[in-house]
Amino acid sequence: MQILTTPEQMKAFDAAASGRFGIPGSILMENAGRGVVDRVVAATGSVAGKRVTVVCGKGNNGGDGFVVARHLLLRGALVDVILLARPTEVAGDARIHLAILRKFQKSASASLRVSFQSARFTPPQGVVPAIVVDALFGTGYSGVPRGVAASAIRWINTSGAYVVAVDVPSGLDAATGMASGDVVRAHLTVSMAAEKVGQYIGAGPDQCGRIEVVDIGITPAFDPVRNVRVFRHDDASVAQLLPRRTRTAHKYSVGKVLVIGGSRQYTGAPVYAALAALRSGAGAVVLAIPAGVRQVIASRTKDVLLQSLSESPAGTVAQCALGELAERIAWADALVVGPGLGRHPETDAFVRELFVSCPRPLLVDADALVALCDGPARQWKRPAATVLTPHSGELARLLGTTASAVEGDRMNTARSTARRLSSVLVLKGASTLCAAPDGTVVVNTTGNPGMATIGSGDVLAGLIGGLIAQGMPSFEASAAGVYLHGRSGDLAAARFGQRSLLASDILALLPQAVLTVETQ
């Protein structure tokens, strides 16, 4: 897994580099600026003869920008540097590199122009830059850009140039991914030492473009995993987690899943969940459904076993069905409850009784989550591992707040809820977060807006349940399942387009997603 850091952690890492190891900040800044230029050349080709504008703030991010400008100049670029401050406002290591840059200006006046604009932003006159480097605000910034800074950001976004952000696009909160005002929209973000949480949540993915990391000389100086609690997966890390079958495996030794769902109104959702559990690699899946919909569901799949349950007057699972499932619950390695379950007082009571009594790992999704929201506090005392998979609206109902409040602080909300409920929480959305009770969070980086379609969540529930049944710990299974689900959605979008993407496409391409990950 790749670590994702917060601004506070990066500040501590910088302090450790200078305090414990004596690495001057000016050297780290030099390494950062040179690394940015290396990535710019890799992305755009030679910069010789190209017009590049570097927009700098007065802090350390601006200092990185001064170094960027110098190395661009050394590679033959025609460089305009715009400092949105007075020179006297620049301090520390940034001041050192501004002084160096101004000395370069004296000997390269035809190729380097430096201007200071503290009151009003004026773009370079008579030129159209091929590349714009955003070195205005760094990872420590939060708030709303105003005045000259807001004007500069708007110009960057309308310049038509290839935009490169230094560490984080200006206006984006590196901790939360929130963008409360004008924010730079970059084609490439070059992140120093490690990726940042805000690059992958909230507005981050839309604003950062491609993200690349440069080693500025502090990575070997500390062990960040001890302090970092936020990560992201890639193909390699997911492949390492996925269970392997032995040559002596049989269908009952590689994962047995019990999916409970379906109702008179919803017959597709439980089928999606059950088939996804099979596609995950589970050997046997039983789909427990109200008796009244057995014939309809049987016509949709021949790959799973069906068990009919007593039903409520509304055609949902009856409360007494829990006794009918005793043998299947004892048989299963993992349970999934909720897909297409529907709502009725008897069904809600069934869910709550199952929740407190089930001795197996249990994933709770959709209407089953709502049933828990309306239940007593004792429902959270579970005898086995629990995975909850709400979207922001369902989590808001669970917490007694609003969906906008959840979306405003997804990371901390997911983390605190997982800890409070002693459950793995899969907060679906952009980007989906998997939070463990110990505070660890995995941010998902796969998937696309086309996956916001009916049935997509049911596929995810079954996929995670199937991985748990194969012996994966619930947190690892959840994070890997979300990643594979998004990977399949990306394959589907590439084939059909986001607009026309269906949940059945995600389900159909799960084998290819798994194969792609395992063969990287």
Per-residue pLDDT tens over the stretch 132-158: 999 999 999 988 999 999 999 999 999
Residue carrying structure tokens 């035809």: 110
Nearest by Cα to 159 from 185, 136, 181, 195: 185
CB 252 within 8 A of CB 502: no
Q: What is the pLDDT of residues 86-108, one digit of tens each?
A: 999 999 999 999 999 999 998 87
> Do residues 171 and 286 share a domain?
no
Q: How many domains does one find in the chain?
A: 2
Quick one: 288 and 345 in the same domain?
Answer: yes
In this predicted structure, the answer to whether residue 225 has a pLDDT above a threshold of 60 is: no
In what side-by-side order are the strands of the sheet with 210-214?
A: 112-116, 78-83, 51-56, 131-135, 162-166, 188-192, 210-214
Are both 282 and 202 inside the same structural domain? Answer: no
Torsion sign, CA atoms 7, 12, 15, 17: negative
pLDDT at 329: 98
Confidence at 373, pLDDT banded by 50, 70, 90: confident
Residue 12 belongs to a domain:
no
Which position has the higher pLDDT, 437 or 374? Answer: 437
Does one domain contain both 494 and 450?
Answer: yes
Is residue 289 in some structural domain? yes
Task: Quote the pLDDT of residue 156.
Answer: 98
Flag whether 235 is in a domain. Answer: no
* Closest alpha carbon to 10 in 222, 156, 172: 222
For residue 342, pLDDT over 80 is answered with yes
Give the predicted TM-score (pTM) of the model: 0.93
Residues 256 and 137 in one domain: no
Q: Are residues 158 and 83 in the same domain?
A: yes
Co-location of 212 and 264 in the same domain: no
- Checking phi first, is residue 497 left (phi over 0); if not, alpha (psi -120 to 50) or beta? left
Do 283 and 365 fall within a single domain?
A: yes
Enumerate helices (H) and strands (E) in the chain, giving the number of each.
Answer: 20, 19
In a domain, 31, yes or no: yes
486 pLDDT tier (thresholds 50, 70, 90): very high
Same domain for 312 and 261: yes
112 pLDDT more than 70: yes
User: Residue 314 maps to which CATH number?
Assistant: 3.40.1190.20
Q: Which residue range(s) make up the domain with 113? A: 23-228
82 in helix, strand or coil?
strand
Check whether residue 114 and residue 257 sit in a common domain: no
Is 182 in the same domain as 295?
Answer: no
What per-residue confidence (pLDDT) applies to 219? 65
- Residue 275 belongs to a domain: yes
Taking the chain, what is the end-to-end CA distance rounded to the nearest angstrom? 15
Asked if residue 513 and residue 476 are part of one domain, the reply reads yes
Mean pLDDT, rounded, for 103-130? 88
Q: Is residue 329 part of a domain?
A: yes
Domain harbouring 147, CATH code: 3.40.50.10260
* Residue 6 domain flag: no
Does residue 242 lie in a domain region?
A: no
Q: 196, 228, 260: which is the final residue of a domain?
A: 228
Tens of pLDDT, residue by residue over 379-391, are 577 889 999 999 9
Residues 17-74: pLDDT tens digits? 888 889 999 999 999 999 999 999 999 999 999 999 999 999 999 999 999 999 999 9
